[in-house]
Structure 1
Amino acid sequence: MKKSLIAGLATLSLSVSAAAPYAVLAKPIEVSATDNGQSTLKPLTSDVAVIAHRGASAYGPAHTLAAYKQAMTMGADYVEFDLQMTKDGQLIALHDETLNRTTNVEELYPDRAPWRVKDFTLEEIKRLDAGSWFNQAYPDKAKTAYIGQQVPTLEEAINYVKQHGNGKFGLYMETKAPNVYPGMEEKVIDILKKTNVLDQEKLFLESFSEESLRKLRTLAPNVKLVQLYTGSMLAGKDVFLEMKRVSDYASGVGPSKELVVPKLMQAAHQNQLLVHPWTVNSQDDMISLLSLGVDGQFTNNTDLLVDLLDKPIISHGVASGDVTDSSATLWTRTNAKANVQFEISTDSTFKHNTIVKTSAAKAKNDFTVKVEINGLMPDTKYFYRAHAVSSKYTVTGSFKTAPAENSLKPLTMVWGGDTGGHGEIPPYKSFEAMSAINPDFFLYSGDTIYADSPTPAVPNPPSQKVEDFWAKYKEIRTDKGFRSLLQKTATYATWDDHEVINDFSGPSEPLTPTGLRAFKNYWPISNQRSDADKLYHKYSWGNTMDMMMLNNRGYRSPNTQADGPDKTMLGGEQVKWLKQQLLESDAKVKLVASSVPISIPTGKAMSRDGWANGDNVNPNDPTGFEQEFKEISDFIIENGIKNVFFVTTDVHFAEVIKYDANHDGKTDYNELISGPIGAVKINPGTLDPTFGPERLYAEGNFFNFGVFRIDPATQQATVEIQDENGQVHFSHTFQLEE
C-alpha cells in the first residue's frame, strides 16, 4: 500500500572527475546512482507493510471492531488478530489466554478465577464489555463508543475488515498458545475457507509455535506463514542456519524488534524470508528498523508508521563535525529527494536565537546533505535539529564549539577506528561506552568502513560501485549506539585503507575517487578539508591542543616501492604543512592524527603499509616509509617541539609507546593506539626499533577505544584504553613539558 522510500535512489548517469591528489585518474568514471543491488539491508519487496498490532491499539481497545476500524482509517496495510479458543470450540480475537485484563469478566463472573478463555463459552464471552477498560486506562483517549465493545469472533473480525476495507486491507493472524487449544489450526483454515480469504494475496498466519505453523502448512500448502521469535528462541543459535531451516516452511520471520541487526537481516533475506519485527511504537525505532531494510513492522501506532512511509524522512541520523571556535559542519541523510532544514541554537527548545539553513538532498550524493554554520560563539554548547521539509519527523543533536583562541580549557576526547570488517558487523558496544564519557569530541581515526570485507551491505566484496560504498556507510549507521554518539558530540573523521581497499595507495588505485566520494558524502567534513580532496587540516582547542589531521592515503607512493628520498606517504606539500603547524603551535599538546602507526610493521612483507619497514622481521625488506618519518622525527627533535602525541588505530590492538629517537635518554614524542571497535582482534607483536620505541602498554584480543584528557591547570595529559563495556584496561598520565 505504501510505496517504499527506503531504497531512495533514482536511476541516472553521473560523471565523477578525479581531484588534485589523484590527477593520474582524471578520466571520468561513469556510475549509475541506483540502489546497491547485492545489499541484504533493503526490503525484499517495494512495499513496507504497516501491520496494525491488535488493531490501532494505541488509540482504542485492542482486538475490538473499533480498533480495527481505526487502523484501517489510519492507512494500515494489515489488521492483526490474536486467536484464542472458547470452551465450545469457537475462535475469538483476543491476546491473553485469560479474560480479566481487557474485559469486565471479574465483575460478571466473580467466582470463576482465573478466568481462562478455554473455560468460557462464546455466549458467556459475548456478554463481556471489552472496551471500558481502555477508557479507564487511557482517559486522554477515552471514547463513549468504546463502552460495551464486544470480543469478536475470528469470522466477525474477517468479515468486518472485508466489509469496511473494500478488499484493500490484509489479514494477519496468530495462533496463540496452540498447545492449549487442540484443533485450533483446522478451525482457522475452515474459517478462512468459509470467509473466502484463504487464497487472498494479503494473508499471513503467524505463531511462536513451529509445530502449529507446520500443521498449517500441511492443511493449506499455499498460505504464507511467519515464524515469530523472542530473544530466548534465538539464543545460542547460528542465525544463518536457523533462517535456512525456517525457510523450509515459512515465508517470513517476526522477531522482537531488539533482535533485528544486520546479521539477522542478511540471514533472513538471503533465504528470501520477509522480516516483520514487533512491536514498534516510537518513530525513532521505526526509522532504525527501516534503515535495516525490514519488510514491515507490527505497531500499535499505525498513523506514525504510515506518516514515515508516505514522504521523505531523515533516515540515518544526524552528525556534526570539523568544529572550530566559530563554525561547524552539520550532516544528515534522507531516503529520497527532499529539501532538508537545519536549525541550530544555544536554546534546546529552538525558540530563541535560532539559525536556519536549508539544503537539497540529491540522488548524486545518496541523499546526504551537509551545511556549514558560521558565526558561532566559542566554548558554547549548541543544539541542532534536521527534518525533511515535507515531514514532521525531526532528529536532534548537539556539539560544543572549541574554546576561544589562547584560552586554556580542559579537554576530553575519545578516539577509535576499525569498524565493520572481518565478519564483525553492527551493533558495537564501544560506541555506547564512548557516549557515556560525554567527550568534547570523537576522533574517528580511519577504517570507518571495510569496503573490501563481506558484510550484509556488500556480501560479495570488494566494493566496486559508489552504491556499494554508500551501502557500507549506511550499514554502520544502523548501529543505535553509533548514531547516538554522533548526535551527542562533534566528530572529526579521517580515512585509512579500508574506506577503499586494503593497503591502497591513492594515486595508483583506480577505486580511490569512488571511495573518496562516498567518504566525503557520509561525513560532516568542512569545505576546507574537502576542497581539492586534501583532507588534512589543523583544528585547535583553544591553546590546550592543536590537532593536525593527516591524509595518509591520498598522496602516497606505492607500498611496493623501495624506501628512499623519492618515496612519500604524505606528499611534499603535506609534510611541509605538518612541519609548519608543529613549529608554529604554542598549544600545550600537539596531537598528530595519523591513520597508520610509526613502529608497528603493517601490511605485507615487501609491501609495508605503515612507516616502519619491519627490517626486524625481514632484514631484506626495503619497503616502508621510514625516510619520510625520519624527516618529521628529526624536525621535532631539532626544533625542541614538546608534548607531541601521534594518535592512531589501524593495527587492531591497543598500545602506548614513548619514543627516544635520538637515543639521548629523553622522550621525544609519544604514540597512542587503540582499536578495534569492530573488526578482527589481533595481539601485539614486536616493534621496529628505528625510532627508539619503548612500550608502556600493549594488549590485544579485545574491542576497545581510547580516551585522551588534557588538564592545563595541572599540566597533565592522561590516556586511557577502555574496553567495549567502558572498563579501563590501562591509564597513564604524562607530565606536560614547559
Structure 2
Amino acid sequence: MYARAVAAITTALLGTAALLVPGSDARAGSHAAVSHARPGGVGTRPLAIGHRGASAQAPENTLAAIDRAAELGVSWVENDVQRTKDGELVVIHDDSLRRTTNVEDVFPRRSPWKVKDFTAAEIARLDAGSWFGSRFAGTRVPTLARYMRRVEHNHQKLLLEIKNPELYPGIERQILKVLGDEGWLDRRHLADRLIVQSFGADSLRTVHRLAPAVRTALLGTPSVADLPGCAGFADGINPSQRSISRKYVAAVHSVAGPHGRPLAVFAWTVDDGETARRVARYGVDGVISDKPDVVRAALRTP
C-alpha cells in the first residue's frame, strides 16, 4: 500500500511538472517534458560543481559544506543519499559511519557501523564535523529533506547521487517523494536546477521510468558502443577525469539523450587548475571538484 501511495503521489507531481513546462510533450513517457536547456553545453565553459559541497574547506555532505560553497559563489553542489534502518534518507557518502562521524565512540559495540543499521535518531546524535576540524564540532549528518531546504535557501542547484542503491530497495521512489514534497519537481527546478546521478544503471532506469522529466546522469565510463543504450535513460555520462580523452567526450556528445539533447559530460574529481584546464580542452560540460573555487579561477567559469 505504501509503494502504491508513493507512486500515485510521484505520478501526480510529475504530471503537473510536465504540464507546466513550456513546449512540453507528454507523449510516450514525456521524453520532451523538460526544458532543453542543459547545465553546460558543447563549446561553452564548463561549470564548476562542488563535490559534496566545498569539501576541501568544510566537512563533506554537511550543511556547512554547501554553505561554504555558496559563500564562494558556487551554484552547483553534489551530494550522496543513503537510507537509515528506519527508512529516513540521509546525506552521507560512505555506507559506513566510521570515517566521517564519531560513531565508534558513541556506539562502540555496533561494528561495522553501517548506515543501514542505525536509526535516524541514532545518526542525529553523531558528530560529523570534528574529524575535519575542531571548529566544525557538533556538525550533524543532515537528512535529505533538511539538506534540500538549505540548498533552496542558498539558491543553489543540485547534482544528487543515489549511493549504493543495491542496499536500499525502493530508494528511488523515496527520493522522488522527498523532492516532490520539497518543491523540486516543478518547472523551475526540473529545467536547470536538478540532476540525479548514480553508478547504478538500473537505479537510473527506475528514476527515468518513475519520473521521465527528471534529468539523470550515469557515473562511470561506459564504452562508446554502450552509449546509445545509456541514452535511453540518462541525459549525461559523468566519468572520472582519469578515464577520458577528447575523443571520448566527443563520442558522448554525439549521442542524444532521452530529452533530445547531446549527452552531457561532468568529469570528477578535479582539484587543481592544470587538470581543470586539461578536461576543459576535452570539451566537458562540468567539472566536479572538492575545490570548486580553484576550478572557477582556473577556467574563469560559472
Task: Please report how far the alpha carbon of residue 44 of structure 1 lies from its aligned counterpart in structure 2 after TM superposition.
Answer: 2.3
CA distance in 2, matches of 1:78, 1:59: 16
Secondary structure, counterpart of 1:213 in structure 2: helix
Q: Offset of 1:125 from its aligned partner?
A: 0.1
Between the aligned partners of 2:42 and 2:267, the Cα distance in structure 1 is 15
For 1:206, which of 197, 200, 206 is the aligned residue? Answer: 197
> Cα deviation per residue 1:189-236 (whole Å; 9 max; x = unaligned)?
000100001231210000000000000001111100000005xxx4xx
Pair 1:134 & 2:118 matched:
no
Determine the C-alpha separation between the residues in 2 that align with 1:208 and 1:214: 11
Matched residue SS, 2:132: helix
**SS of 2:165's equivalent?**
coil
State the partner residue of 2:161: 174
1:212 maps to a residue whose letter is S
Q: How far 1:72 sits from its partner (Å)?
A: 1.3
Quote the sequence identity (%): 39
Partner of 2:74: 76
Look up the SS of the partner of 1:100 in the other structure.
Answer: coil
**Partners of 2:43 and 2:283 within 8 A in 1:** no
Quote the Cα distance in structure 2 between the aligned partners of 1:51 and 1:87: 30
Which residue number in structure 1 is paired with residue 206 of structure 2? 215
Query: Match for residue 254 of structure 1?
Result: 238
Q: From the superposition, tell whether residues 181 and 119 of structure 1 become closer, same or farther in structure 2 (CA, over 3 Å).
A: same
What residue number does 2:93 align with? Answer: 95
What letter corresponds to residue 65 of structure 1 in structure 2?
Answer: L
Give the distance between the partners of 1:71 and 1:57, measured in 2 at CA: 9
Q: The residue matched to 2:218 in structure 1 has which SS?
A: strand
* Aligned counterpart in structure 2 of residue 117 of structure 1, from 112, 115, 118: 115
Opposite residue 205 of structure 1, the aligned amino acid is V
What's the CA shift for 1:309?
A: 3.2
In the TM superposition, what is the alpha-carbon distance from 1:159 to its structure 2 partner? Answer: 0.2
Corresponding residue of 1:229? 220
8 Å Cα contact 1:275/1:296 also seen in 2: yes
Contact 2:45–2:299 (8 Å) recurs in 1: no
Q: Which of 291, 296, 302 is 2:292 aligned to?
A: 302
- Is the 8 Å Cα contact of residues 124 and 141 (structure 2) preserved in structure 1? yes
Q: Which residue of 2 aligns with 1:190?
A: 177
Q: 1:56 aligns with which of 48, 51, 54?
A: 54
Cα contact 2:55–2:290 (8 A) shared by 1: yes
For residues 47-446 of structure 1, what are the structure 2 equivalents within 5 Å?
Answer: 48-135=46-133, 144=135, 146-163=136-153, 165=154, 167=155, 169-199=156-186, 200=189, 201-229=192-220, 234=222, 237=223, 239=224, 241-271=225-255, 272-310=262-300
State the 4+ residue runs in structure 1 displaced beyond 4 angstroms. Answer: none
Residue 75 of structure 1 and its aligned partner are, at CA, apart by: 1.8
Q: Report the Cα distance in structure 2 between the residues aligned to 1:247 and 1:307, rounded to whole angstroms.
A: 32
Contact 2:276 2:299 in 1 (8 A): no
> How far did residue 150 of structure 1 move?
0.1
C-alpha distance in structure 1 between counterparts of 2:109 and 2:209, whole Å: 41
Q: Which amino acid aligns with 1:73?
A: E
Instruction: Report the 3-state secondary structure (helix = DSSP H, G, I; strand = E; otherwise coil) of the residue aligned with 1:150.
Output: coil
Report the residue type matching 1:84 in the other structure.
Q
Q: How much has 1:45 moved relative to structure 2?
A: 6.5
Whether the 8 Å CA contact 2:127–2:140 is kept in 1: the answer is yes
Question: What displacement does 1:47 show?
Answer: 5.1
SS at match of 1:249: coil
- What's the CA shift for 1:46? 3.6
* Counterpart residue identity of residue 181, structure 1: Y
SS at match of 1:304: helix
Asked if the contact 1:75/1:306 (under 8 Å) is kept, the reply is: no
Asked whether the equivalents of residues 98 and 104 of structure 2 are also in contact (C-alpha less than 8 Å), the reply is yes
Residues 131-177 of structure 1 show CA distances to partners (whole Å, capped at 9, x for unaligned) of: 00012xxxxxxx52x111000011111101111x2x3x211111111
Partners of 1:115 and 1:65 in 2: CA distance: 22
Return the alpha-carbon distance in structure 1 between the equivalents of residues 184 and 74 of structure 2: 18
Structure with bigger RCO (C-alpha 8 Å, 6+ apart): 2
Which string of whole-angstrom CA distances, capped at 9 and with x for unpartnered residues, describes residues 495-516 of structure 1? xxxxxxxxxxxxxxxxxxxxxx
1:264-299 per-residue CA deviation (whole Å, 9 max, x = no partner) reads 111111111100011111111101001111000110
Q: Which letter does structure 2 place at the counterpart of 1:213?
A: L
Q: Which letter maps to 1:301? A: K
Q: Whole-Å Cα distance in 1 between the matches of residues 226 and 49 of structure 2?
A: 24
Which residue type is aligned with residue 219 of structure 2? L
1:155 maps to a residue whose letter is: A
Q: Distance in 2 between matches of 1:283 and 1:61?
A: 22
Contact 1:75–1:302, Cα closer than 8 Å, also in 2: no
**Separation in 2 of the partners of 1:198 and 1:45?**
29
Aligned-residue RMSD, C-alpha:
1.5
Distance 1:45 1:221, change over 3 A: farther
> Which structure has greater helix proportion?
2
| TM-score normalised by length of structure 2 | 0.81
1:275 is matched by which residue type in structure 2? V
Letter in 2 for 1:193: G
How many pairs were matched up?
A: 252
Larger Rg: 1
Contact 1:49 1:77 in 2 (8 A): no
Shift of 1:258: 1.1
Deviation, 1:244, is 1.8
2:283 partner SS: coil
Shift in Å, 1:247: 1.2
Higher strand proportion (structure 1 or 2): 1
Q: CA deviation at 1:310?
A: 2.5
In 1, are the aligned partners of 2:246 and 2:281 still within 8 Å (CA)?
A: no
1:77 deviates by 2.6
In 2, Cα distance between the equivalents of 1:67 and 1:133? 14
